A and B are shown apart, each in its own frame.
Chain A
Amino acid sequence: MSRIAPGQSDTLQSEIAFIFHEIFDVNAQQEAIAAYSCFHTVYGASLSTRKGVNMTRVLNRRLDVEAIEFFLRTRYPGNLLTCKLWACAYLYEAQEGVAPRGRIQARSGRITSPVLCLVILAWFGFRSAVKWLKGGLQVYWHHLL
């Protein structure tokens, strides 16, 4: 996989490390970090046309990346942060298991009851609403756009 300039690579390394920790609760391995850089090289032209977000500020202030992404997704579909998070999801899936859905499946493996799943979905609905509000506030307070 190709690499990009060292300076930019450091920023990207911080990004993926932060997103992996915040969203997936694991550390990004070297292959995932290299692939994340490669992603920005290969798809850079397209990404540069997306609605941007000040990632440096998100990282430095350790803002709630999940909340910000969810708010931006509803306002600016296909924005840069959503693309980055989506890329991280693919890399997480590749990092954590060869078989598709391996680790993502295992993450909540003990929950097999349909009723419990529905209860958890309801909880995620409420949680997402709170995240949306939080994300909106952080975007405007911290001037992320």
Chain B
Amino acid sequence: MTLDAGVIIVGSGPAGAAAALELSKITEVLMLDIGHSAPEESPVADRFVELLGQRLEGMSIISEPYLSPKLRSPLFRYVTRSWRELSPITSSDFKGELSLALGGLANAWGSGLYEFDDTDLRGFPISYSELQPFYLSLTKHIGISGGGDEVASLLGSRECLLPPMPVAGTLKALYAHSQRPKVKAFLLRNRIHIGRQRLGILTEPHRGRPAYTFDGKDFFRPWKAAIYNPAYTVRELEALGKLRFRRGILVKQFEEFPDRVRVDAVDLSSGQPVKFSARRLLLGAGAINSARIVLQSFKDYSTRLPMLENPISFIPFIHFASLGSDSKENSFTGAQLALIFDGPEHRDRVQGSFYNLSGVLSSDFLFDFPFSASGNLFCLAKILGAMGVLQIYYSDAPNPESFLSLSTEGALEVHCPARRFGKVEGKLINALRKMGFWSASFLVRYGEGGGSFHYAGTLPMREAGDSIGFSTDRFGRLNRCNHVYVVDASSFPLLPAKNLSLTIMANAMRIASKLML
């Protein structure tokens, strides 16, 4: 039997790209994915089409369920294209999105790239020291900006970081307030840490990619090379001849043989079934789709796999002293400041990211103010620039209400109820007020089930001898299999509050580095 490659990787998101980066040093790698790409870069002459889309996709919140501004933006529609048809989910409470794009959901991420420390990794069968070399390697590969204050050490090592992104607008004032000795002491007493972000955005040219330029169009331009996307790594490896990438391939299932593993897929361009063989298979299609492939492979329609997701909430706030100011100077759409809360109000650390409200179309917020249309338009012009949003992420652990299973029709049944906390929000609102920023509990919005887009834990890694059901060992090998490994967040047994992307990548590299071929 001729093998198509030494290793097949399914998925081109953070996990697949990072595993390929490591594996391409030692073997021939074949990557399979649908791989939708951003439209070719070209000047868009019609600003209606650029901002709102050919079919006015940018206005969809008027009459369709809420979709985040970046995913709604016309030129970013490829990120979530066709997943509902090709990876169907039936659910009454899952309001999230999946991606079949080259680079996955990272095409529209907030760019926060944090390391999990040993506190975050409690409950994992691995430690920080096992991930550390790969964190460092990725920091050099991606070009991560950050550091500059003590919060940096809570987000990861400062080694090899590029200078941090400048903070702009209202958040510049917030950062300045948070660094005043009295305020800082208050924050520390309340176990609140506010500091500069750690972002996959270049502040200096790095490995052939340019530094970030401020043009206020991050939400409308998917080609900004300064904002890291795993697709860059895939393309780079492909250009170097270290990776073969087969686009338009929908992987359905795998079958193991003593000396190899075979992948059964559909070539979407022809609609014909195709098969690929390799010595090892790495699943990196994301926590939900990797679980789907595993359940389909075992034709298991009864097992309920756990599902983890970061519950989220949003705290809008306003700085009255900034009313009337123009916040566009140096503003970008990534997370500008980071927050870590480790007080007694919640069992685990809580992580937050501060965003300003520039960059998106201001009409998104037209009816978020309580006046008639003219008053609301004034608010868009003069109040929005003084506002910001603190997005809060909570950790998650397996619970009986969140799970997924495969139906006999082939759709995944996902149960992912929304969860609301509130005590932490109250504490943070008090802290904001202390810094001169006003908010109130009734303004807090809670995310719906699946709304964080951070999914994990469907095929959790366990200590050796502790393997039950569909789980993996600490090296990512799937229980019941000899040649199949899981490299994405499926293998996280718990989900810390911190943004998981960099750890997905580091863990994928760790697993790839230990792979016995």
Chain A interface (Cβ < 8 Å from any Cβ of B): 1-2, 23-24, 31-32, 35, 38-39, 42-43, 46-47, 50, 66-67, 69-70, 73, 82-83, 85-87, 89-95, 98-101, 104-109, 111-114, 116-118, 120-121, 124-125, 127-128, 131-132
Contacts and interface: CB of A to CB of B under 8 A. Distances in A.
A117 B383 contact: yes
A104 B362 contact: yes
Contacts of A92: 363
B371 A98 contact: no
Specify the main secondary structure of chain B where it touches its partner.
helix
A94 B48 contact: yes
Nearest to B55: A42
Given A38-B55, A38-B56, A108-B382, A128 B360 contact: no
* Residue in B63, B367, B381 whose Cβ sees the most chain A Cβ within 10 Å: B63
A113 B325 CA distance: 8
Contacts of A111: 324, 382
Contacts of A101: 328, 358, 361-362, 380-381, 384
B48 A100 contact: no
* Residue in A46, A82, A114 whose Cβ sees the most chain B Cβ within 10 Å: A114
B48 A93 contact: no
Contacts of A98: 47, 50-51
A105 B374 contact: no
* Residue in A1, A23, A117 whose Cβ sees the most chain B Cβ within 10 Å: A117
Nearest to B58: A90
Contact of B371 (A35, A91, A125): A125
24 contacts: A1-B56, A23-B377, A31-B46, A35-B56, A38-B56, A39-B59, A66-B372, A73-B367, A89-B363, A90-B56, A99-B328, A100-B216, A100-B361, A101-B361, A104-B362, A105-B362, A105-B381, A112-B324, A112-B325, A117-B323, A117-B324, A118-B323, A121-B383, A124-B371
A83 B63 contact: yes
B156 interface: no
B64 interface: yes
B317 to A, nearest CB: 15
Contacts of A43: 56, 59-60, 62-64
Contact of B52 (A70, A86, A94, A116): A94
Nearest to A82: B367
A93 B360 CA distance: 11
Interface in B41-87: 46-52, 54-56, 58-60, 62-64
A101 B378 CA distance: 11
B375 A127 contact: yes
B359 interface: yes
Given A47-B63, A111-B324, A117-B382, A100 B56 contact: no
B378 A108 contact: yes
A99 to B, nearest CB: 6
Given A100-B359, A117-B382, A131 B372 contact: yes
B160 to A, nearest CB: 34
